[in-house]
């Protein structure tokens, strides 16, 4: 059944997440004080809890929009 999740902590880049091992995952921007960080936001479907992981640092000279893919999901 559908349920509404209140107080989603971060605004994802896309509406559709990637499903992996019981979690839905999105790329999202997290605003902290005066800076913005790109994170992977994870929602555990069973526990109904959130998690987040920072993306690795990238070379400032190479600016590209991050993408989230799922590999080997056959």
* pLDDT higher than threshold 60 for residue 74: no
Cα-based angle 59, 61, 63 (whole degrees, multiple of 5): 85
pLDDT score of 73: 58
Residue 54 bridge partners (DSSP): 39
Structure token digits, residue 53:
């992981």
Cα–Cα distance, 17 to 40 (Å, whole number): 10
Residue 1 pLDDT class (50, 70, 90 cuts) = low
Task: Determine the pLDDT at residue 63.
Answer: 60
Q: Looking at residue 59, what is its pLDDT? A: 66
The model carries a pTM of 0.69
The residue ranges of every structural domain in the chain are: 11-54
pLDDT digits (tens, 9 = 90+) for 7-60: 666 777 788 889 999 999 998 877 766 667 788 889 898 998 888 888 777 666
């Amino acid at each position: 059944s559908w349920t509404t999740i209140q107080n989603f902590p971060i605004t994802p880049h896309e509406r559709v997440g990637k499903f992996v091992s019981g979690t839905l995952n999105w790329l999202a921007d997290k605003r902290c004080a005066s800076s913005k960080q790109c994170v992977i936001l994870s929602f555990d479907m069973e526990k109904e809890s959130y998690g987040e992981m920072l993306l690795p640092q990238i070379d400032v000279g190479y600016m590209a929009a991050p993408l989230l893919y799922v590999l080997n999901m056959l």
